[in-house]
Structure 1
């Protein structure tokens, strides 16, 4: 049975992410429902890292990004490719680390409390765009290169265990 343990603030950021990756592997290992896995993954990250006010998914429906399971206040439902931080990450397939969202051209303000953001594109092994993993913070400059590496590692686990081997439901 999986047990959530919050990442210790006494650990280095890379060590916190290593612990989270192990927890995510354990959490997703035996479940085959994509929505259940996305919901639990969102909760794990949101409740394990300090300084977050939103963590969740936008899935690509073939035309645009549509909000999926998340933790935080209600969110924008649909985002066009190339629009805002999420749409940019989806279109470019490059992780976006935004120190100050007010400096990002075309930023979509779903929650006015958000000050910084990191968005990781989710891409299947065959190159198909799945969507994006989006995390917001009420703190300016909350995310850095260590967060990018850590979030990308977490997203690889999600794509491998919660998407690639599971059935769409």
Structure 2
């Protein structure tokens, strides 16, 4: 004979089901008697989206005051508005040159991840902007502009390579070469 002789009481299916059935029936009767006062989720969601989009459209800065470039509008400009005017491209090249000059602090603190992100972002912009800004360069200087642009692309690629490794001396060396080549490029513009 076993030492554990607990007897379990059987479940009372009918009494539990009858209790739940009464609760369900009473809630169904209450729902039939009262008109629906809640709005459907879809209608509420569309109302919220429309009001927020209208509010944002009213608060947006005028196009003349806003910049046409920057990291916040990267996806929009890259995929939906790929063509900037030559003047905007020149301005963005100059802004990239200033940003690369300000990158020295991140290199000194060895923030490699942020440097890599910044270099790759600027490479994506500059490759398109240098082609667009070529129209602003006079005919007799185009060959030297193309050579300066190619030198900039090569130096940025090497800079990216050495930052990824991370080799400190080579990173600084190609950082200085990149600064010199972007300054030469800006001199043409």
Please give the TM-score of this superposition, normalised by the length of structure 1.
0.27
**Structure (1/2) with the larger strand percentage:** 1
RCO (CA 8 Å, sep 6+): is it higher in 1 or 2? 1
Please give the TM-score of this superposition, normalised by the length of structure 2.
0.25
User: Over alpha carbons, which structure has the higher Rg?
Assistant: 2
